[in-house]
Structure 1
Amino acid sequence: MNRCSFCKRSADDVGTLVAGAGVYICDDCVVLCAEAVKNKPAGLKRATPVWEGVDDAALIAHLPRIEAIRHLVDDDLRSWVGEARRRGISWDRVGEALGMRRQSAWERFA
C-alpha cells in the first residue's frame, strides 16, 4: 500500500496521492508545502527542523519514518536501475550517473 512520504497516511486515507521518484505526497501535504514555500524567510534555501521545538520523544518517534522513506527510495532506485539495465544501458553509465564506479554499481544493484 502506498503512503504519503511526509505524513505516512495511506492512499486510502487521502484525497490524492502523487508519486515522485521514490516518494509520494498527499494533497494535504502539498498544501502545507505550498504554504511553507510561500512564507519562507528571505534567503532560506533549505528548511531545517527547529531543534528547540522538537522534544526527545518526537525526535525518536520520527526516526522510523525516515528509515521507512529511505527504504522506499532504495526500492525505487533499484527499479530505475533495473529498467536502465533492461534497456541495455551499461554499468559504466549507471555507475557514473550515481557517482560511483561500475563495479560498485554492479555490486549494489545486480
Structure 2
Amino acid sequence: MAITREGRICSFCGEPGGPGTDLQLMGGLGAQVCARCIDDFHEMLHDEELRAAARGASPWDSMTDAEMLATLPMILSSAEQNLAFAHEWVDLLRTRRVSWAEIGRALGVSRQAAWERFARKTGDKGATA
C-alpha cells in the first residue's frame, strides 16, 4: 500500500495540491504544507516585525463571524485529512501483520477499541489478531 499526496490539501491555507496540481505539498503524519506557506513562515521567522506581530493576538481575534464561518470547512477538511492518514497508517501496520493489541497499546486503548475505531473502515476483520 502506498500513501500518496494526491487529493490532499495544505493544512495551513486549505489549498488543494499534490500530484497533477501546481501546488506541491510537503510534510507527513497527515499534515501537509505548500511551498507558499513555507515561504510565508520562513519570511516571518527572519523578520523581527512579522515575528512580533505573530506573537500578538490570535488570527481569529480580528476575524469577522463570516470569516470564521468561511474558515470552518477548511479546519474540518484538515482534521478529516489527518484522520484518513491515521487509517492509512493502521492499514500499513496491519499489512505488516502488526496485531490489534499492539496498535491499541500504541494508542493507549484496548485491542477491541483500536479495532472498532479502524477495522470497519479498512475492512480488516481480524479482531483477534
Question: The TM-score by the shorter chain falls in which range?
Answer: 0.7 to 0.9
Aligned match of 2:30? 22
Aligned match of 1:90? 99
Q: Match for 1:52 among 39, 47, 61?
A: 61
TM-score (norm 1): 0.79
Give the aligned length.
105
Q: Is 2:77 aligned against 1:68?
A: yes
Q: Match for 1:10 among 16, 35, 56?
A: 16
Q: CA RMSD in A?
A: 2.3
Identify unmatched segments of 5+ residues in structure 2: 1-6, 120-129
Q: SS at the partner of 1:13? A: coil
CA drift at 1:74: 0.9
Structure of larger gyration radius: 2
Deviations 1:62-93 (CA, angstroms, capped at 9, x unpaired): 11101111111111100101111111111121
Q: SS at the partner of 2:97? A: coil
> How many Å separate the matches in 2 of 1:105 and 1:60?
33
Identify unmatched segments of 5+ residues in structure 1: none
TM-score (norm 2): 0.69
Compare 5-14 and 100-109 and name the one that shifted more. Answer: 5-14
CA drift at 1:25: 0.9
